[in-house]
Amino acid sequence: MAHDKNDFARQFIEAIPHSKELGMKVTLIENGEAEITMPYDKRFVGDPKTGVIHGGAVSALMDTCGGTAVISHPDVPGPTATIDLRIDYMRAATPGQGITARATCYHVTRSVAFVRATAYDEDFDRPVATATGAFTVDRSNKS
């Protein structure tokens, strides 16, 4: 059942209009862990002088990855929505490089799931951004 849930989540995430437009691909989804990649695209550059991807695209990636981690957690029965997401930008992403977000759902209560996420370009030793978030847990459809 969990495998089917994760397959459904992967297909759903990749079909969301903003995820699709940003080229997001789910590369890992299981047991409260998720990884999503987003290729470099000149359309998403925030400052043409530098070629750096806009923080909004990185934010969307981290939010989507956090929600994906929640959906894949074994204690979360259904869909989720972002309650709060705090992002700390550590440095500009390297122009020309894609971004990878990794998220972990590390705690689930009756109604809230808590997530930590990190975004990287090709340098996995120096994060582009880190995030902490809270997401809804909908138990209304639990049998």
Give the CB-side neighbour count of residue 5, counting CA atoms within 13 A: 17
Q: What is the CATH number of domain 2-136?
A: 3.10.129.10
Q: What is the mean pLDDT of residues 80-97?
A: 96
Which pLDDT score is estimated for 141?
A: 64
Which residues, at least 6 apart from 105, have a Cβ–Cβ distance to it below 8 Å? Answer: 32, 33, 66, 69, 70, 72, 73, 76, 113, 114, 115, 135
Q: What does the mean pLDDT of the chain come to?
A: 92
Which pLDDT score is estimated for 143?
A: 46
Which pLDDT score is estimated for 13?
A: 81
The proportion of the chain whose per-residue pLDDT surpasses 70, expressed as a percent, equals 96
What would the pLDDT profile of 9-50 be if each residue is shown by its tens digit? 778 787 788 899 999 999 999 999 999 999 999 999 988 999
Q: Does residue 142 surpass a pLDDT of 60?
A: no
pTM: 0.91
Q: Does residue 96 surpass a pLDDT of 90?
A: yes
Give the CB-side neighbour count of residue 77, counting CA atoms within 13 A: 9
115 strand-pairing partners: 105, 133
